[in-house]
Amino acid sequence: MKRIVVYGNASKEKEKFVNDLQVSSQGDFSFQSSTHNSRFNAIDNGIAAPVHTAPWQLLVVPQHDAHLETATNFETTYFQCDFARPLVVVFYGKENEKTAPFIEACQSYLAGQPNVVVLSAEKLEDLKASKILGEFTNLENLPQPSPNDPSMGL
């Protein structure tokens, strides 16, 4: 079973989306939601392996998120997510004149990174689980950084 850690603010849409992915994966993937606190709790109490050791990441971002003002602070806003590791970023929500330039800038910024796949949809349920899971399969062919690699900044 391949572990995928899921980042992004908690929402009913995100929870349903992740549950649908889990069911569609037929046990091939294990999705683990993460917040800053749960990451460090997992490290401290030894209950589960730290989320930063998961080989893949999924970042689910609503387009109306007020914290995202520029593409350059995108990585800072989602600092728990390791942008050096394989990552699928999903933007969802209705685009408008305020969010469209931001999403376009983020897509351009992230597109230069071969380990990052950027997808967007008005509704999360519009994204086919097979498409998302297929992107993780494609990312599987990339070299995986070692958790012991000092260049990872862990």
Specify if 154 maps to a domain.
no
The chain-wide mean pLDDT, for the chain, equals 75
Residue 121 sits in a domain of what CATH number? 3.40.50.2300
Given its phi and psi angles, is residue 138 left (phi above 0), alpha (psi -120 to 50 degrees) or beta? alpha
pLDDT band (50, 70, 90) for residue 110: confident
Total structural domains in the chain? 1
pLDDT of 36-72, one tens digit each? 444 433 333 444 455 556 778 999 888 776 455 666 6
Tell me the three state secondary structure of residue 3. Answer: strand
Backbone angles phi, psi at 60, to 5 degrees: -110, 115
What CA–CA distance (Å, rounded) separates 48 from 132? 25
Q: Which domain holds residue 81?
A: 2-142
- Confidence at residue 88, expressed as pLDDT on a 0 to 100 scale: 92
Higher pLDDT, 71 or 151: 71
Q: Is 71 helix (H, G, I), strand (E, B) or coil?
A: helix
Looking only at the bridges linking them, the beta strands covering 2-7 and 116-121 are unpaired
pTM over 0.85: no
Write down the pLDDT at residue 70.
67
> Which residue type is seen at 116?
V
Residue 17 within a domain: yes
| Residue 152 forms part of a structural domain | no
- Look at residue 150 and tell me if it is in a domain: no
151 within a domain of the structure (yes/no): no
